[in-house]
Amino acid sequence: MRHVIVAANWKMNTTPADAGDLARTIAARTREAGVIRVICPPYVCLAAVRDALADVDLAAPEGNPVAVGAQNVHHESAGAYTGEISASMLAGLATWVIVGHSERRRDAGETDQLIGRKLRAARAAGLRTILCVGEQLDEREAGRAEAVVDAQVRGCLAGAELESLGVEGNLPWLTIAYEPVWAIGTGRTARGSDAAAMADAIRGTLAALGMPNGGEDVPVLYGGSVTSGSIGEFLAEPAIDGALVGGASLKPDEMAGIVARAGLTAAARGATAPGRPLADPPA
């Protein structure tokens, strides 16, 4: 049984002065059993969010706290890389990290090879990783969506020790977020069936690469302008295990609605386990 995960990507929003209050408000309103919650603020807000989420009263009914994630990480452990943050620097601040987000691919020119190095650096430091993949509009219209995502997954996982990327300690080390780039901030929307078909294709690639259990243990999230109004269509698909939420993750009402719907999916899957926390404590 795969876990249900809702990860909030705050992108370049909030400051250390207001991030803690926002994180605490969201945590208090999303205490749904069986849902792994992760908040990924900007680097400068990691400590404020970590401290705000340390309150045990913010945990879900089964003791599941909100985890803290970083939005990016450098592929080297140290060196002359001005302005960069290594995985070891995140120790004590975050337990999850996003790699390969479409905005990093677009704005920083990140390649699959580079993203793969980031993934391995994060894994070596013990960070749970959300790997983002997804196609552009022209690629989908040309009928190449699955081929593009297949190549991204293969490129990012090349050289990875796949046997170490499965479930360990009741939690996934690797989670994949499918984010169709054409559905992010464009007004266009993907369908639940589109996301489910891609999730199946992703697991097919993982199986072909030799992932233990054919990749069936790897959660696949949907990330494409997710809102409380649209999340139901995606979580109705058995192949989809949650969401990577962008702009809506800054709005407590939206996050409450998204996680509430995720809680229904978790309950239907029998994911609740009273007394057995599903997520890492805040870093």
Catalytic residue numbers, as ranges: 101, 179
SS3 152: helix
Q: How many CB atoms lie within 10 A of CB 117?
A: 18
Q: Residue type at 177?
A: A
Residues in CB range of 16: below 8 A, 6 or more apart: 44, 45, 47, 48
Rounded CA-CA distance 68/40 in Å is 6
Phi, psi for residue 280 in degrees, rounded to 5: -65, 150
| Ramachandran angles phi, psi of 120, nearest 5° | -70, -35
DSSP 227-282: -TTTHHHHHTSTT--EEEE-GGGG-HHHHHHHHHHHHHHHHHTT---TT---SPPP
- β-bridge partners, 8: 39, 245
Which residue's entry shows tokens 């029998």?
Answer: 270
CA distance 169 to 116: 23
CB 20 within 8 A of CB 28: no
Q: In this structure, are residues 155 and 113 in contact, taking their beta carbons and an 8 Å threshold?
A: yes
For residue 170, count other CB atoms closer than 10 A to its CB.
11
DSSP letter for 2, please: P
Q: How many helices (H) and strands (E) does the chain have?
A: 9, 10
Residue type, 237: E
